[in-house]
Structure 1
């Protein structure tokens, strides 16, 4: 059996849907904080059990009988995310899982400028010491992050942001499909695998792409880090949130997200959706 956590969310929910196209429903299970939200899966023959990362006993029950467990990363920075991930990994091992997969992130690094990258790297270290086969799926940045980086370009005609670097943005739908291919396939993956593809683009590239899509000229203007933080605060963004976003700009310009990898295209059997297509869909121009 393949057990998936976070199956009532967008990312792993889509992974479950792709799994159900590849394997019988009785080979799929989900561990959900709120089982009522997974009723639509239970009605289709998927095993649904209650489980949460802060309840190891419930997790062990929800993982029982699983050969593979896919763990979605926690997303609340106010809690001990690494500790929660440790709970989930230990529960999967205790339940007898032979392989644990985890939704990590491109550029995972303990000492990098972007805090979530350290959480993912620490979790990968726990996986490596778990004693069972493991695969960390290092996903690329998602398309829904576009708006926060581009700013109010519609009103201003300007993308004003700190110095940045290249990022090969990915469509979450492509990543979910690829994860299902890994879970249901015969190919062995061990350790960290990077699921990104396509050309790595900068905000200069975004300005050119948005100009073409929108039919209006959009300019890229580089703003100093502290000036940008001050401008964000003046627009109502809390300083802590602005400085967190600034760490992402720092990570991009230091090359943490510049890597490209053909694996995503190989798993999909086609080219992933490009930046222009994602912009056209996610940003109303």
Structure 2
């Protein structure tokens, strides 16, 4: 039995959808905070259990009987994130899971200026310091995150960003397909995975050029100071802690933390990953009211 946490989230739903094509639904269990919501979203055949990362005892019950527990990292930063990850890992161990899989990040490093990458590295260390077999899935940087950062600039024709570096942006759907392939093959990858990335790296300048070509109009790139970008981001209503985390993306990219491509993802899904040109084309063709 495979337990999927965060099953109503964007990644979790896609992992379950991909698993449906490889395993009987009776072998898949969704662990979520809101079971009513999950039942309506996931459809027939998927057992739903209530599990909250802040309630370890409930998690142990939710994870009962699992051969594998797939832990989707939480949308938090700092100690809140690492405490919740550790609680889920401890619950999986206590429930007797044969393998724990955790969605980490290609840039996971304890010294990373990108706060989420630091949190992933802390969680990886906790995973490794235990008796249960584990797989840390080092996901490539979500392409959807790039759209979140520069989406308004793409729409308006001017991307105002700090100095950056190359990133191997990767489609979430491709990562979900790879995760499902690993789960369906009882782990397949032991320990920390190779970076699960797209096949190309892009700077912000590259993205501006691609978007210009796909939109048929010039999209300018304007490099601003870290301080100016941070102030503008906070002025748009982004909480300071998350604005600083997003700035950390640029700081880490400058030093090359995300400048890697690897064939592992393509091998797992059996086809070329979706490229940024296609992702940008789809985004630019959406109605202007679309929110990312």
Structure 1 residues 60, 156: closer, same or farther in 2, change over 3 A? closer
Equivalent residues of 2:198, 2:274 under 8 A apart: no
**Distance (whole Å) between structure 2 residues aligned to residue 120 and residue 104 of structure 1:** 5
**Distance (whole Å) between structure 1 residues aligned to residue 187 and residue 171 of structure 2:** 23
1:1-285 equivalent positions in 2, closer than 5 A: 1-40=1-40, 44-77=44-77, 80-150=80-150, 152-154=152-154, 157-185=157-185, 188-193=188-193, 194-233=195-234, 240-284=241-285
**TM-fit CA distance, 1:238:** 5.4
Query: Aligned residue for 2:289?
Result: none
Equivalent residues of 2:8, 2:41 under 8 A apart: no
Question: What's the TM-score once normalised by structure 2's chain length?
Answer: 0.90
Equivalent residues of 2:135, 2:187 under 8 A apart: no
- Considering only aligned residues, what root-mean-square deviation do their CA atoms show, in Å? 2.1
- Deviation digits for residues 200-255 of structure 1 (CA, Å, limit 9, x no counterpart): 10011011101100101222222222233344455565555443322111011111
- Deviation digits for residues 50-91 of structure 1 (CA, Å, limit 9, x no counterpart): 111111111111111111000011112376211111111111
Equivalent residues of 1:144, 1:282 under 8 A apart: no
**Distance (whole Å) between structure 2 residues aligned to residue 234 and residue 41 of structure 1:** 35
Specify the SS of the correspondent of 1:160: strand
> Any unmatched runs of 5+ in structure 1?
none
Structure 1 residues 74, 63: closer, same or farther in 2, change over 3 A? same
Q: Which moved more, 1:226-235 or 1:83-92?
A: 226-235
Q: How many residues align structurally? A: 285
> Any unmatched runs of 5+ in structure 2?
287-292
**Distance (whole Å) between structure 1 residues aligned to residue 86 and residue 152 of structure 2:** 39
**Distance (whole Å) between structure 1 residues aligned to residue 99 and residue 156 of structure 2:** 50
**Distance (whole Å) between structure 2 residues aligned to residue 174 and residue 217 of structure 1:** 29
